[in-house]
Chains A and B, each alone.
Chain A
């Protein structure tokens, strides 16, 4: 086993039973290594199996076959005790799509405290963690407020703070921006990047938004339960025909670079954000 891989997935398969008794494969023999501190985006259209993968990593679902190791421990081992599952969930936190369905308490700080309270941490330590987590996501001023009065993006930041207060090694975001407006999405994307950069948290972000995936260090594209592509965003976006085939778009800037290529204008380098793309175009112009 690779020493620096934090999550290791080996030949993982899972299917579910149909009403007529047949089985439908959701994930087919998937293998994947995720390094500690990595910022990984899992891309795929609805039904590609990406959310199922997230649920497997947190032991909400069990695979039909294959193994998952987290931090060197095999979590698919049938001898896992309830205590082991508890330890695992402490390490790998999960943020879901609908912020409303994750918040437990009617006061923001009480909600953030919920996880640490479950871990049986000393009250003054919980207080500290809650304050730190809320300030990390920029929600300190809402500590005594009610979640019901916050915007979707703010609620989602509270949900993130609630996981952060458990001090996880890794956080999984299961389409956590899908229900937010552009401002809320930008907020959450910035928060995720901050968690990765400043807190060293391994990020697995499940999404179907290309512009969000573009911000990760690495993208895995799932299609029909299989890994179709795996690489840095630039490598992935180069194959935009392949992406289109599995129902995904490329960021507009990448699409533009591809159109320019057809016109015989070659733009080299990273082009998935407007500023990077502008730099690349300027560089190409100067060369020409």
Chain B
């Protein structure tokens, strides 16, 4: 059974005003348990809205959102519990930090859940381990940390709730390759160890290619592609048509095709491309 299912979901932005806009149109999506699913689309495609629908921050105008087969809005009063199960890390989460120490800030979520002191301490330790922070930052003031470290503290603040579904909106935006790698591998580790389902938004197709099992592509509020990583990247023309940044390697394959060299268009990693080109060279010689 799908961990998360969106059924005929529509969402209106600015309902009841003159600038009312349909942010999502009749979306039907299933997300597999313990998968890492990438969500791509450019600004205004409805990605952020979709993320907020998953944990009940936004309410669908029409349609249903199911978690483990249960409508999350079945008991509207208990939507808070859904938010603990579906942990959402928003864009630039470092700007949400507010406590005097890193430890207290990470504890905010678990405390709201009503966990015991010892349980909270345990979860904080676990969370900072996932994001690759050392325990000595716990007593520091988050405002004294570097941008990348703050980001990791904020992500740890959500991981500490041990969500079954971890949803992240551009967790690596603006970070350098090192910072990005630490965060992405932390997310991967979280999935490996806990079996959680991960949904991640990113503009970097290279990151998506590296990390995701499945990919959903949104454009103008509609799902235009939905499938495994290989299936979606095979549709690179479609991706380009809707203005998404196709991996450089895929572009190279297109360029080679255009020059009359018959290579596989769907390749998106350096390794696969090297093998493919070596094959061409082998044939030519």
Contact = CB atoms under 8 A, between A and B. Distances in A.
Contacts of A247: 176-178
A178 B174 contact: yes
Given A151-B43, A275-B255, A182 B245 contact: yes
A61 interface: no
A119 B179 CA distance: 41
Interface in A152-200: 152, 175, 178-179, 181-184, 186
B146 A278 contact: no
Contacts of A281: 256, 261, 277
B284 A285 contact: yes
Contacts of B173: 178-179
A45 B179 CA distance: 9
B63 interface: no
A46 interface: yes
A116 B277 CA distance: 54
Interface stretch (B50-58, B121-129, B266-274): B266-274
Interface string B244-277: 1101110110111011010000000011011001
Contact of B277 (A97, A152, A208, A260): A260
> Which of A97, A151, A248, A260 has the largest number of chain B CB atoms within 10 A?
A260
Given A45-B177, A181-B42, A265-B278, A277 B245 contact: no
A252 B248 contact: yes
A255 interface: yes
Interface string B170-198: 00011111110000000000000000000
B176 A263 contact: no
Nearest to B245: A182
A26 to B, nearest CB: 13
B171 to A, nearest CB: 14
Contacts of B256: 278, 281-282
A167 to B, nearest CB: 31
> Which of B146, B179, B247, B258 has the largest number of chain A CB atoms within 10 A?
B179
Nearest to B204: A182
A181 B203 contact: yes
A211 B248 contact: yes
A259 interface: yes
A46 B284 contact: no
Contact of B270 (A178, A183, A252): A252
Determine the interface band of chain B, counting residues with CB < 8 A from chain A.
Answer: 35 or more
B181 to A, nearest CB: 9
Contacts of B203: 181-182
B132 interface: no
A249 B273 CA distance: 17
B274 A45 contact: no
A161 B285 CA distance: 53
Given A182-B42, A182-B245, A253-B249, A278 B177 contact: no
A179 B248 CA distance: 20
Contacts of A211: 248
> Which of B44, B244, B252, B278 has the largest number of chain A CB atoms within 10 A?
B252
B107 to A, nearest CB: 24
A45 B181 CA distance: 12
A195 B176 CA distance: 26
Given A46-B148, A253-B249, A256-B274, A285 B177 contact: no
A263 B251 contact: no
Given A182-B245, A247-B176, A253-B252, A259 B270 contact: yes
A45 B178 CA distance: 8
B247 A47 contact: no
A5 B280 CA distance: 46
Given A182-B245, A256-B252, A256-B270, A285 B261 contact: yes
A49 interface: no
B281 A259 contact: no
> Which of B176, B256, B274 has the largest number of chain A CB atoms within 10 A?
B176
Contacts of A259: 270-271, 273-274
A274 interface: yes
Nearest to B92: A179
Contact of A183 (B144, B243, B274): B243
B265 to A, nearest CB: 13
A78 interface: no
Interface in A18-37: 19
Contacts of A248: 176-177
Contacts of B144: 19
A152 B42 CA distance: 12
18 contacts: A45-B179, A151-B43, A151-B44, A182-B243, A182-B244, A183-B243, A184-B43, A249-B177, A252-B247, A252-B249, A252-B270, A255-B270, A256-B252, A259-B273, A260-B278, A278-B256, A279-B259, A281-B277
Given A46-B176, A277-B252, 15 more contacts: A19-B144, A152-B43, A178-B173, A181-B203, A182-B245, A184-B43, A249-B177, A251-B248, A256-B252, A259-B270, A265-B277, A281-B256, A281-B261, A282-B259, A288-B281
Interface of B: 42-44, 144, 146-148, 173-179, 203, 206, 243-245, 247-249, 251-252, 254-256, 258-259, 261, 270-271, 273-274, 277-278, 280-281, 284-285
